[in-house]
Amino acid sequence: MKAEQAAEILKTFKWDVLRSIYGCAHSSLIGFFSTMWIDQSKDNSVLDGAPSPITGGRRAGQKNADILLCKRDRPFIVVEVETNVAKYQDKLRSIQAYLQNNMAYAGIELGMMVMTNLCKGNMKYKHNWSVIKDEVGKSRYNVALVSIEKKRASLDQSVLDKLRRRNDYYPWEIVNIDYWVHDESGATSEGNLLTG
């Protein structure tokens, strides 16, 4: 799959829906991708909790991806949603393991990592993808990175806003979603999926 083709797939999702989801959103993001994918075609399906890319013994430490977006009778896109910046390297390795397994995953075209950028300091909920971009850029894989930026919301005294003050995740709202795609030829595509 060419980088531009992967970018066009990303642009078909209704990203503005995510503005109404507060909190860590890991499960909600998985639901978002599943629903958006299935809505696109009656031939599309989702494997929630993708089967491991490693079959047989020696699976120690191997985590299963969050979902597999399937087209007709084949897997098409493996998706990892990750909140914590410290786990990005592990998630990228998981995606690459799926893309390497051409036997069990014949038809898989793309790995996608959705990054919600939780860390400490002034980069909390900002793009934290420079290291991952460098690593992907050295590979021969089709990988899409989607990075979600948030800012602290101005909350009032409504019941919902009082509840949002109770957990550190909740007072943040999405302000920007950008993507960067790298394909096996080394070509890249990048852009914005949601602003403001």
Q: What is the pLDDT of residue 41?
A: 96
Give the pLDDT confidence of 73-121 residue by residue, as tens digits: 999 999 999 999 999 999 999 999 999 998 888 889 999 999 999 999 8
Q: What is the pLDDT of residue 172?
A: 87
Q: What is the pLDDT of residue 62?
A: 65
Residue 102 in tokens: 């051409």
Closest CA to 82 of 124, 26, 148: 26
Give the pLDDT confidence of 6-63 residue by residue, as tens digits: 999 999 999 999 999 888 889 999 999 999 999 999 999 999 988 888 876 555 556 7
Give the pLDDT confidence of 131-148 residue by residue, as tens digits: 999 999 999 999 999 999
Provide the domain limits for residue 133. 3-195
Q: What is the pLDDT of residue 52?
A: 86
Residue 179 phi/psi, 5-degree rounding, is -130, 155
Query: What residues form DSSP beta bridges with 148?
Result: 177
User: How far is residue 41 CA from its own chain's centroid?
Assistant: 20
Q: How far apart are CA 62 and CA 150, in angstroms?
A: 30
Q: What is the pLDDT of residue 58?
A: 53
* Average pLDDT of the segment spanning 178-183: 98
Q: What is the pLDDT of residue 61?
A: 58
Closest CA to 85 of 28, 123, 30: 123
Q: How far apart are CA 179 and CA 191, in angstroms?
A: 6
Q: How many domains does the chain have?
A: 1
